[in-house]
């Protein structure tokens, strides 16, 4: 009997590996392989045309001495500080509104979610027209209500990064949907008991909704953090349209844009690979800090039962 059970387990394991083998092969060839290759190239001088030449830590030392490296990291961090909290709060706000019993609620949910499925290129071109300082609808509207000197938005170094943060909110519907799923999973008995105890709506929101939604907030925070550090498409299109990568005046020189410049414009694949691994470590450290902080503010329903 034991021999038969052991044989059955081996057959089941073999079948399982057979079914997941396409993914495993794809992961090894298209993900793990390139990652290991980039780690090797980060210690070499490599321009695609010639064979890589080992230079040790020279690429990493050169990065830390590069002014544009620190500038691009600073721009990315500033963008994360602006865009990430705004996305988290606006997504939760919309989810709470669309979790109410209102007419045509399914239609409203669909309308708020639809923008998040439109490609980044089309969205960026649309917003560039909106932000156009001469003919854009935004400045024309501001002029109509009495604001005579509105910003130049994407053309102004002081406003360009803020404008990109606003553009990033176009896809907040994806965050909203995740919040909405979390809200619908909160037991209504908790709200009913709080009403009986005389808790007001703000008290119910702060003491029931926020704690019960903290795992979902944590999930969106981690994904949003990774997403802001991989920001590229919108900044690339805007920069190339108004004067070059990072325009105006390097105010939108995101880390990934500078990495792209090193790799594909300057053909310095070794330095670009080093930048990629530095970015990986930065995101890894920040994500670990978020995970450590979750012990303080993230509540899981089953914790009190243990």
Q: Which domains does the chain have, with CATH numbers?
A: 66-305 (1.10.3720.10)
When pLDDT is cut at 50, 70 and 90, the band that residue 13 belongs to is: confident
Confidence grade of residue 306 (pLDDT, cut at 50, 70, 90): very low
pLDDT band, residue 7 (cuts 50/70/90): confident
Interval 260-285 mean pLDDT:
95
Distance of CA 213 to the CA centre of its chain: 19
pLDDT (0 to 100) of residue 305:
42
What pLDDT shows up at residue 209?
93
pLDDT surpassing 80 at residue 2:
no
Residue 96 has pLDDT above 50, yes or no: yes
Lowest mean pLDDT among 1-5, 51-55, 143-147, 162-166: 1-5
User: What are phi and psi for residue 268, nearest 5 degrees?
Assistant: -105, 75
- With bands split at pLDDT 50, 70 and 90, how would you rate the model's confidence at 145? very high
5 — pLDDT class (breaks 50, 70, 90): low
Q: How high is the pLDDT of residue 286?
A: 95
In whole numbers, what is the pLDDT of the chain averaged over residues?
A: 91
Q: Work out the average pLDDT over 251-261.
A: 96
Task: Give the pLDDT score at 94.
Answer: 95
Residue 252 is predicted with a pLDDT of 95
Lowest mean pLDDT among 9-23, 156-170, 264-278: 9-23
Predicted local distance difference test score (pLDDT) of residue 3: 58
Q: Provide the pLDDT for residue 6.
A: 61
pLDDT value of residue 299: 87
Predicted confidence (pLDDT) per residue in 176-206, tens digit: 999 999 999 899 899 999 999 899 989 999 9
Phi, psi angle pair for 100, to nearest 5°: -85, 165
Per cent of the chain over pLDDT 90 is 80
Q: Provide mean pLDDT across the span 249-267.
A: 95
Model-level pTM? 0.89
Distance, CA of 281 to CA of 300 (rounded, Å): 28
Degrees to nearest 5, angle at CA 157 with 154 and 159: 55
DSSP string for residues in the chain: -HHHHHHHHHHHHHHHHHHHHHHHHHHIIIIIHHHHHHHHHTTEE--SSSPPEE-TTHHHHHHHT-HHHHHHHHHHHHHHHHHHHHHHHHHHHHHHHTTS--TTHHHHHHHHHGGGGS-HHHHHHHHHHHT-TTT-HHHHHHHHTT--S---GGGSTTTHHHHHHHHHGGGHHHHHHHHHHHHHTS-HHHHHHHHHTT--HHHHIIIIIHHHHHHHHHHHHHHHHHHHHT--HHHHHHHHHHTSTT-STTTT--HHHHHHIIIIIS--HHHHHHHHHHHHHHHHHHHHHHHHHHHHH---GGGGG-
């Amino acid at each position: 009997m034991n021999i038969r059970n052991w044989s059955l387990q081996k057959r089941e394991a073999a079948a399982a590996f057979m079914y997941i083998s396409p993914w495993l092969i794809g992961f090894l060839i298209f993900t793990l392989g390139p990652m290991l290759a980039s780690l090797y190239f980060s210690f070499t001088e490599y321009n695609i045309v010639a064979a890589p030449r080992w230079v040790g830590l020279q690429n990493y030392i050169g990065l830390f001495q590069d002014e544009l490296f620190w500038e691009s990291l600073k721009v990315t961090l500033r963008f994360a500080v602006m865009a990430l909290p705004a996305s988290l709060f606006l997504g939760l706000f919309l989810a709470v509104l669309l979790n109410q019993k209102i007419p045509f609620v399914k239609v409203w949910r669909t309308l708020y979610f639809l923008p998040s499925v439109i490609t980044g290129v089309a969205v960026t071109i649309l917003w560039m027209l909106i932000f156009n300082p001469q003919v854009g609808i935004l400045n024309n509207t501001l002029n109509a209500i009495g604001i005579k000197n509105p910003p130049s938005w994407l053309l102004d170094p002081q406003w360009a990064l803020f404008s990109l943060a606003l553009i990033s909110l176009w896809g907040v519907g994806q965050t909203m949907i995740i919040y909405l799923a979390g809200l619908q999973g909160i037991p209504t008995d908790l709200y009913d008991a709080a009403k009986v105890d005389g808790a007001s709506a703000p008290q119910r929101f702060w003491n029931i909704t926020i704690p019960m939604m903290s795992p979902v907030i944590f999930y969106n925070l981690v994904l949003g953090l990774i997403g802001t550090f991989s920001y590229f498409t919108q900044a690339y299109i805007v920069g190339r349209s108004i004067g070059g990568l990072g325009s105006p005046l390097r105010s939108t020189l995101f880390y990934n844009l500078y990495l792209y410049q090193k790799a594909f414009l300057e053909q310095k694949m070794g330095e670009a690979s080093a930048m990629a691994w530095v970015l990986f470590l930065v995101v890894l450290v920040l994500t670990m800090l978020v995970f450590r902080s979750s012990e303080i503010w993230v509540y899981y329903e089953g914790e009190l039962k243990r």
